[in-house]
């Protein structure tokens, strides 16, 4: 098989994988964490063994969906961090971007972060086991932004990681509670969380040559 044939086959496989992920997205939007491999295969117009051939099992499909949505969310968070505004406004915009994302697609959020309550689990799949790496990835990404942009003095790398993971943990826990109970508006939650973060963030200086935080 020549290089052109391999490239064409890879493009075809990539396109088919995207189509299957889009079908999975539609089912997740409808069924949330109860989305099953049977329902996703039916939505895609294929049999479940073919779905397994592409993703292995529900854990493989989950990982592919998680990367798809996490990549999109991280792109949005980076855009908020890079907005031409002062630091407090960028902090609030970043918090609001995360909360807006989970509010807009709560079924996707629940599929990624919570097992289906009362639903039979599919063999070999545990949502809780798979969701923690998503939060760790977001924490590391935010830590890198903080380290690149803020002058935190001695021990800056470690402090940036503490802050990155701490902020992501706060956003996740507060957002999870807020999405379930809706005790206040999104705007009120954003302001309150920004107030909590603001003390040391306000005092830190920007690194020379960085776009700022």
CA–CA distance, 9 with 81 (Å, rounded to integer): 39
d(CA 179, CA 176) in angstroms, rounded, equals: 5
pLDDT digits (tens, 9 = 90+) for 58-78: 888 888 888 888 889 989 988
**Number of independent structural domains in the chain:** 1
* Residue 213 included in any domain: no
pLDDT value, residue 2: 63
Judge whether 131 lies within some domain. yes
Question: Which pLDDT band holds residue 192 (cuts at 50, 70, 90)?
Answer: very high
Q: How many CB atoms lie within 10 A of CB 207?
A: 16
Position 71 in a domain = yes
Place of tokens 């790496």: 133
| 11 inside domain | yes
Mean pLDDT of 98-121: 79
* Model confidence, pTM: 0.81
The reply to whether 186 falls in a domain is yes
Task: Classify residue 123 as exposed, middle or buried by CB count within 10 Å of its CB (0-12, 13-18, 19+).
Answer: exposed
- Distances in Å between the Cα of 201 and the Cα atoms of 24, 146, 155, 164 are 40, 10, 16, 12
pLDDT higher at 127 or 94: 94
- Kindly report which listed range (8-17, 126-135, 187-196) carries the lowest average pLDDT score: 126-135
Name the CA radius of gyration of the chain, rounded.
20
Position 211 in a domain? no
Per-residue confidence (pLDDT) for residue 34, from 0 to 100: 85
- What mean pLDDT do residues 140-155 have? 86
**What pLDDT does 22 receive?**
94
pLDDT score at 124: 47
* The predicted structure's pLDDT at residue 9: 78
Task: Decide if 74 is inside a domain.
Answer: yes
> What is the residue-averaged pLDDT of the chain?
85
The domain that holds 91 is classified in CATH as: 1.10.357.10
Nearest CA to 67 out of 123, 130, 15, 13 is that of: 130
| Residue 181 resides in a domain | yes
Q: Which residue has the higher pLDDT, 159 or 12?
A: 159
Whether residue 195 contacts residue 92, with contact meaning beta carbons closer than 8 Å, is answered with: no
For 40-59, the pLDDT digits (tens) are: 999 999 999 999 888 888 88
Residue 3: predicted pLDDT? 66
Please check whether residue 94 is in contact with residue 201, taking contact to mean a CB–CB distance below 8 angstroms.
no
Boundaries of domain holding 129: 3-206
């Amino acid at each position: 098989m020549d290089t052109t044939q391999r490239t064409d086959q890879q493009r075809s496989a990539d396109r088919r994988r995207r189509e299957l992920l889009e079908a999975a997205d539609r089912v997740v939007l409808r069924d949330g964490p109860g989305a099953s491999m049977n329902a996703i295969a039916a939505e895609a117009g294929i049999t479940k063994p073919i779905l397994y051939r592409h993703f292995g099992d529900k854990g493989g499909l989950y990982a592919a969906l998680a990367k798809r949505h996490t990549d999109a969310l991280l792109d949005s968070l980076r855009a908020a961090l890079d907005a031409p505004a002062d630091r407090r406004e960028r902090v609030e915009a970043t918090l609001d971007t995360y909360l807006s994302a989970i509010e807009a697609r709560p079924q996707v959020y629940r599929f990624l972060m919570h097992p289906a309550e009362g639903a039979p689990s599919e063999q070999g799949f545990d949502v809780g086991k798979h969701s923690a790496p998503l939060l760790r990835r977001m924490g590391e990404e935010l830590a890198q932004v903080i380290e690149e942009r803020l002058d935190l003095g001695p021990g800056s790398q470690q402090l940036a990681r503490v802050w990155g993971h701490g902020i992501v943990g706060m956003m996740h826990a507060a957002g999870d509670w807020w999405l379930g109970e809706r005790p206040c508006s999104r705007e009120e939650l954003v302001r309150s969380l920004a107030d909590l973060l603001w003390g040391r963030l306000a005092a830190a200086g920007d690194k020379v040559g960085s776009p700022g935080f």
